[in-house]
Amino acid sequence: MQETSSSASDVTYVAPPLLPQQEDAIIHTRITNDEKALRRVTKKFHAYTSVAYTSALPPSPSTSSSVDDAREAFLVELASFHLSLKKSLMVCEAEARQVEEYQKEKERIAAEHALLKSQIEELKSSLEYAQIQRKRKIEYDAIAEKVNTLPSRLELIRSIDSLEEDMAAIRTEHDNQVRTLQAQKTALDSVISDLSLLRIMGKEDSTEDSRSVTPLPEIQIMEEDVEMNGSHSERTREEPGELKEDKEMGEVNEDNDAADDDAESVDEPLSKILNPGAMPFVPLQSRTATPATHSNTRTPPASTPRAPSEDDIEMGEVAEDRDPKRLKVVEDREEGEASDADSPLTAPPDDDDDD
C-alpha cells in the first residue's frame, strides 16, 4: 500500500489545456477581482499554522503570545476579506439590477421605436393627404378665379336667347331666299321651255314651207348628176341653153369646208343644250327676187349648223339643195332657158346698172 501511494505521489497532475474563451474569462475575473486581500488572508493563515503547529513540545509563554497574535491577525484579515466579499456581492447584485434595468430600458426603447415608426408612417400619409388637399385647394382657387371672370348666369342666358333669336332670323331669311330662288328657277325654266317650243314651232313652219315648194325638172336632173359624180357641186347640162357649174369642184369643196369650220366655231345656242333634237329656226325668204339676187356673186351663203335629225337622209342619198336663192332662180326660169349670169357668152351685169 505504501508503495502504491508513493508511486501515485510521484506522478504529477497535468491539467488539460484551456480554451481561448476560458482563458479570457479567467483573465477578466483576475482583472475585475482584487486578489490582494485573499493573498493576505492566506499569508496570515500560513503564519498562524506555522506558529501553532511547529513542534509537539509544550508551548512557552512567549510562544503562546505569538500564537495568539497570529490567530488574531488571521481573524482580522479574514473579517476584512469577508467584508470585501460582501462588498463584491453587493456590487454584483447592483450590476444584475442594472442589467435588468438595461433590458427593460432596451425593451421600452424598442417599443417606443416601433411606436414612433408607426407614427412616422401615419404622419407621412397625413402629409401626403395634406399636400393633395393643398393642391386641390390651389386648383379650386384657380377655377374660382376663372369662374369669377365669367359673366353672371343671367347675362349668359340673355346672350344665349339673343343668339337663338339671331339664328331663327337667319333660318327664316334662308328659307325665304330658298323659296325666292326656287320661284325664279321655276319661272326661268318655264321661259326656257317656251323659247324652245317657239324655236321648234318656227322650225316646223319653215320645214313645211320649204317642202311645199315642188322642185323643177332641172333640180331633179342636177340631183341625179350629184348622185352619179359623188360631189355636192351643181352641174348644168352640156347642151346650150342649160345651166353650167358656178364653180369648179375643188372651189366648192373648199367653200363648204370653210363654211363648216365657221359654223363649228360659233357657240351652240341654248336650245341645242336644252333640246338637242330641236331643229334650228330658219326665216322664210321673200318670194320677190331683186336684181341683186341674179347678180353673179361667187360667194356661197354661210351654211347654218343643222341638227342630226334635221333631214331624214338615208345612207347613200345626197341631201337636196336648200339654198333659197338658187331655188328662186330655178323657179323663175322655164324649162330650156339659160341664165344670163351663167352664160359664157355674156358678161355679168354691173352693180351700177342694177342700181
User: Could you give the percent of the chain with pLDDT greater than 90?
Assistant: 27
Q: Is residue 31 part of a domain?
A: yes
Tens digit of each residue's pLDDT (9 = 90 or more) over 45-82: 888 888 777 655 555 666 667 878 888 888 888 888 88
SS3 277: coil
pLDDT score at 30: 72
| CA dist., res. 145 & res. 139, Å (int) | 10
Residues with Cβ < 8 Å from 324, sequence gap 6 or more? 285
Q: Is residue 48 part of a domain?
A: yes
Q: What is the grid cell recorded at 272?
A: 341645242
* Most confident by average pLDDT, 174-183, 262-271, 300-309: 174-183
pLDDT score at 294: 42
- Decide which of 176 and 62 is more confident: 176
Other C-beta atoms closer than 10 Å to the C-beta of 283 total: 9
Q: pLDDT tier at 25 (50, 70, 90 boundaries)?
A: confident
Other C-beta atoms closer than 10 Å to the C-beta of 161 total: 10
Q: Is residue 33 part of a domain?
A: yes
pLDDT score at 62: 62
Q: Is residue 112 part of a domain?
A: yes
Q: Is residue 53 part of a domain?
A: yes
Residues with Cβ < 8 Å from 218, sequence gap 6 or more? 242, 243, 330, 333, 335
Across the chain, mean pLDDT equals: 70
Please tell me what DSSP assigns to residue 349.
P
Q: Which of 19-33, 106-120, 170-184 has the lowest mean pLDDT?
A: 19-33
pLDDT score at 152: 86
- Decide which of 209 and 89 is more confident: 89
Tens digit of each residue's pLDDT (9 = 90 or more) over 211-233: 665 554 444 444 445 444 444 44
Closest CA to 294 of 241, 257, 333: 333
**Domain housing 38:** 20-128
Closest CA to 322 of 268, 277, 294, 280: 280
pLDDT score at 282: 54
Q: pLDDT tier at 169 (50, 70, 90 boundaries)?
A: very high
Q: pLDDT tier at 24 (50, 70, 90 boundaries)?
A: confident
Q: Is residue 59 part of a domain?
A: yes
Q: Number of structural domains, the chain?
A: 1
- Decide which of 167 and 62 is more confident: 167
Q: Which of 64-78, 285-299, 318-332 has the lowest mean pLDDT?
A: 285-299
Q: Is residue 36 part of a domain?
A: yes
Closest CA to 328 of 231, 212, 215: 215
* Most confident by average pLDDT, 27-31, 268-272, 281-285: 27-31
Q: pLDDT tier at 44 (50, 70, 90 boundaries)?
A: confident
Q: pLDDT tier at 176 (50, 70, 90 boundaries)?
A: very high
Give me the residue label for grid cell 512567549.
62
- Decide which of 193 and 329 is more confident: 193
Q: Does residue 162 have a pLDDT over 70?
A: yes
Q: pLDDT tier at 85 (50, 70, 90 boundaries)?
A: confident
pLDDT score at 22: 86
Q: Is residue 79 part of a domain?
A: yes
